[in-house]
Amino acid sequence: MAIAGTPSTTMRQLPVSLASRHVAVIGAGAAGLVTARELRREGFSVVVFEQGDQVGGTWVYTSRVESDPLGLGPIRATVHSSLYRSLRTNLPRECMGFRDYPFVSRDDPDRDPRRFPGHREVLMYLKDFAREFGIAELVRLETEVLHVGLVEDSKWKVISRKSGSDEAGVDEIFDAVVVCNGHFTEPRVAEIPGVNKWPGKQIHSHNYRVPEPFQDQIVVLIGSSASGADISREIAAVAKEVHIAARTFVDGTLGKQAGYDNLWLHPMIESVCEDGTVYFLDGSFILADAILHCTGYKYDFPFLETDGYVTVDDNRVGPLYKHIFPPVLAPWLSFVGLPCKVIPFRMFELQSKWIAGVLSNRLMLPSQQEMMEDVEAFYSSLEVSGTPKRYTHNLVDYQFEYNDWLASQCGCPGDEEWRKEMFYSCVKNLFARPESYRDEWEDHHLLLQAHEDFVEYTSNGVSNRCLPQ
Ligand code: FAD
């Protein structure tokens, strides 16, 4: 895919009638599965391309890691999932599930009944979802998409081949493509002065699975994300010392952490030296064995060729109307799942309902020019508020407004009040009890409301309220 660059000035003539029937979905993670369901409900013929050997995307845990622990080598064999072995969800299952297919615990000894379950339970839930809605049969497993590009008549050529093979790809033509390839695979690492000569081990959390390799070591972990918090605590149980460095830490929170004799918080790293020393911005320093980058990921669409109509610039994928449609190529190309710092599955459900409705002409998009103006106004508002470009898709402060807007476009119910309140109460609980928030909580009244709704959704067909008429 082109990075930045100037779009060609030729505007494509887009089909105006309801001609689009054959839709390709790239990826069979949570986003691809729910997108396939919505497209099929609308009556499209759908092919889901999935490079892995099962559905579930990120939630397919593997102990395999990449040959380059930092995950930077451009021709390395990529491992898709970034999960570590001990991972439990950081959202309660009631919030996490699709609205019309609640993520409730199953009465089955093989399943994990916890409110914040382990990763395998999420995978099982997604597989149940795929089975329940007959999505599995639409998925071509072990089929890697090599190229998605425009051809004449505004159709899309998709070239795919058996994953891992050297076969020449197979070409197919689709009316529309929905990109659901996930964005937690391509590591972003911190830039550290002197790091090229620093003799220690470096690894990105994408390639972190278990703590044992850090036994008795002095580890500097960069980042204050949910994964960073989990991993630092896990490593502290075996390492000699763990030092967490982050831009977001403020005075007063720095220093040795209560409850641990080997865990410290620091400001960001200032530089590192050939003798193994790591210097922090406040002048403190330590001699470390390893740096673990928990510094997030980059959007990456190596297969996508749009003649410059969609670019990735400093982690902004754009221009995209409402993080979904590139105005010039709408509605025939769309993206599900780009926003981050959200409750993902529920948002995917709404994004894909909107896409399916628009593709079938049941729902209308504004004109290309109006969409472009909307995107430009959005970018200007980010600039005015001093939001860096790389946070374009960070919806932390307005995910529920965004979901409600999508729901209003689709004529569907928006998010339930309990879901919103539960999300905020979970975040509050996480800050109050970072180590035990997954097992201790106080929002029992919200749990009750959620389960009342689940009974209603699953007993009287409320889930069908949003089916096309
Ligand atoms: P993915 O799950 O990544 O799926 C994308 C799919 O596309 C993959 O199956 C991949 O193989 C396929 N693909 C990619 N490129 C190609 C290609 N060229 N050809 C064919 N197939 C391709 N969310 C929560 O709700 N709760 C949590 O507690 C939570 N914890 C998380 C913890 C970690 C460490 C991470 C990394 C993420 C976490 N998430 C959590 C977010 C999680 O990513 C989303 O919940 C969701 O699973 C993303 O789904 P997706 O379909 O967008 O992407």
- Phi, psi for 406 (deg, rounded to 5): -60, -45
Tell me how far apart the alpha carbons of residues 83 and 62 are, in angstroms, rounded to a whole number: 8
**Does 95 contact ligand 1 (Cβ within 6 A)?**
no
Q: Decide: 84 and 63 in contact? Cβ < 8 Å.
A: no
CA-nearest residue, atom 22 of ligand 1? 27
**Does 180 contact ligand 1 (Cβ within 6 A)?**
yes
In angstroms, what CA-CA distances link 433 with 43, 88, 195? Answer: 47, 15, 35
The answer to which of 226-230, 296-300, 321-325, 419-423 has the lowest mean pLDDT is 226-230
Ligand 1 atom closest to Cα of residue 227: 34
CA-nearest residue, atom 15 of ligand 1? 181
| Residue 7 scores a pLDDT above 60 | no
**Does 182 contact ligand 1 (Cβ within 6 A)?**
yes
**Does 228 contact ligand 1 (Cβ within 6 A)?**
no
Nearest to 244 by CA among 254, 234, 181: 254
Tell me how far apart the alpha carbons of residues 385 and 388 are, in angstroms, rounded to a whole number: 9
| Residue 17 scores a pLDDT above 50 | no
From 58, 138, 297, 348, the mutation candidate for ligand 1 (largest count of ligand atoms within 8 A of CB) is: 58
The pLDDT value recorded for residue 467 is: 60
CA-nearest residue, atom 7 of ligand 1? 27
CA–centroid distance, 57 to ligand 1, in Å, is: 5
Tell me how far apart the alpha carbons of residues 47 and 380 are, in angstroms, rounded to a whole number: 37
pTM to 2 decimal places: 0.94
> What is the average pLDDT across 459-465?
55
| Residue 461 scores a pLDDT above 60 | no
| Residue 12 scores a pLDDT above 50 | no
CA–centroid distance, 195 to ligand 1, in Å, is: 30
Q: What are 60-108's pLDDT values in tens digits?
A: 999 999 999 999 887 888 999 999 999 999 999 999 999 999 999 999 9
With cut-offs at 50, 70 and 90, classify the pLDDT of residue 466: low
Burial bucket for residue 6 (CB in 10 Å: 0-12, 13-18, 19+): exposed
- Phi, psi for 266 (deg, rounded to 5): -135, 160
**Does 223 contact ligand 1 (Cβ within 6 A)?**
no
The pLDDT value recorded for residue 212 is: 98
From 112, 122, 181, the mutation candidate for ligand 1 (largest count of ligand atoms within 8 A of CB) is: 181
The pLDDT value recorded for residue 196 is: 95
Amino acid identity at 230: D
Q: What are 127-172's pLDDT values in tens digits?
A: 999 999 999 999 999 999 999 999 987 899 999 999 999 998 999 9
Q: What are 224-281's pLDDT values in tens digits?
A: 888 899 999 999 999 999 999 998 887 778 888 888 999 999 999 999 999 999 999 9
Q: Decide: 212 and 238 in contact? Cβ < 8 Å.
A: yes
Pairing of strands 170-174, 176-179: unpaired
CA–centroid distance, 463 to ligand 1, in Å, is: 24
DSSP 111: S
> What is the average pLDDT across 424-446?
95
With cut-offs at 50, 70 and 90, classify the pLDDT of residue 333: very high
**Does 303 contact ligand 1 (Cβ within 6 A)?**
yes
> What is the average pLDDT across 48-53?
98
Q: Which helix (H) or strand (E) holds 187?
A: strand 186-187
Q: Decide: 393 and 316 in contact? Cβ < 8 Å.
A: yes
| Residue 219 scores a pLDDT above 80 | yes
- The shares of helix, strand and coil residues in the chain, as percent rounded to the nearest 5, are 30, 20, 50
3-state SS string for 225-286: CHHHHHHHHHHHCCCCEEEEECCCCCCCCCEECCCCCCEEEECCEEEECCCCEEEECCCCEE
Nearest to 171 by CA among 159, 186, 153, 182: 159
| Residue 469 scores a pLDDT above 80 | no
Longest alpha-carbon distance in the chain = 69
The pLDDT value recorded for residue 468 is: 60
Sheet holding 333-335, edge to edge: 139-140, 45-49, 22-26, 176-179, 333-335
